[in-house]
Amino acid sequence: MSRAGPSQSQKSQRGPQPSQYHSQRATRRSRRAQAREDEEEEELEQPEAGDENIEMGPDDGEASGHSELDRKASDLVRLALFMEQKRVPLRREDINKKVLGSNTRQFKAVLEKAQKLLHKTFGMELVELQSRNYREEDIMAGNEEARNATGVKKRVAAAGSKTYILRSVLDSTIIEQAAITDERLFEEQMNDAPDEEADEELPRRYGSIISWSTCDQLASLGILYVVLALILVNGKTMSDADLKANLKRLGLPSNAVIPVNEQAAHKAMPLDAFLGQLTRQGYLDCFRPGDNKAAGGKRGRAPAATQAAAEDTQTYEWRWGNRAHSEVGEQAVANFTAEFMVERSREVITDDDEGQEAGPNRRGRGRDKENTAEKQLELMQKAIERSAGGNLSGIN
What is the pTM for the complete model shown?
A: 0.69
The superfamily in CATH containing domain 216-327 is MAGE homology domain, winged helix WH2 motif (1.10.10.1210)
**Which pLDDT does position 337 carry in this prediction?**
92
**Which pLDDT does position 10 carry in this prediction?**
46
Beta strands in 252-347 (DSSP E): 257-259, 268-270, 284-287, 317-320
**According to the per-residue pLDDT averaged within each range, which of 114-123, 216-225, 285-294, 303-312 is highest?**
114-123
Burial classification of residue 222, based on how many CB atoms lie within 10 Å of its CB (0-12 exposed, 13-18 middle, 19 or more buried): exposed
Question: How confident is the model over 251-280, as pLDDT tens digits?
Answer: 999 889 888 766 666 678 899 999 999 999
Question: How confident is the model over 337-361, as pLDDT tens digits?
Answer: 999 888 877 766 665 555 555 555 5
Question: What is the b/e burial string over 64-91, where b = at least 16 CB atoms within 10 angstroms of the residue's CB?
Answer: eeeeebeebbebbbebbeebbeebbbbe
Residue spans per domain, the chain: 65-168, 216-327, 330-387
The mean pLDDT value for 93-103 works out to 92
The pLDDT of residue 204 is above 80: no
- Asked if 65-168 and 216-327 have one fold, the answer is yes
Pick from 211, 252, 219, 231: nearest CA to 328: 231
The mean pLDDT value for 45-68 works out to 52
Query: Between 203 and 100, where is the model more confident?
Result: 100
The pLDDT of residue 209 is above 90: no
Query: Between 224 and 131, where is the model more confident?
Result: 224
Fold held by 65-168: Arc Repressor Mutant, subunit A (1.10.10)
Residue 188 pLDDT grade (very low, low, confident, very high; cuts 50, 70, 90): confident
**Which pLDDT does position 345 carry in this prediction?**
75
Burial classification of residue 274, based on how many CB atoms lie within 10 Å of its CB (0-12 exposed, 13-18 middle, 19 or more buried): buried
Residue 118's φ and ψ, nearest 5 degrees, are -65, -45
Query: Between 243 and 50, where is the model more confident?
Result: 243
Average of per-residue pLDDT values in the chain: 74
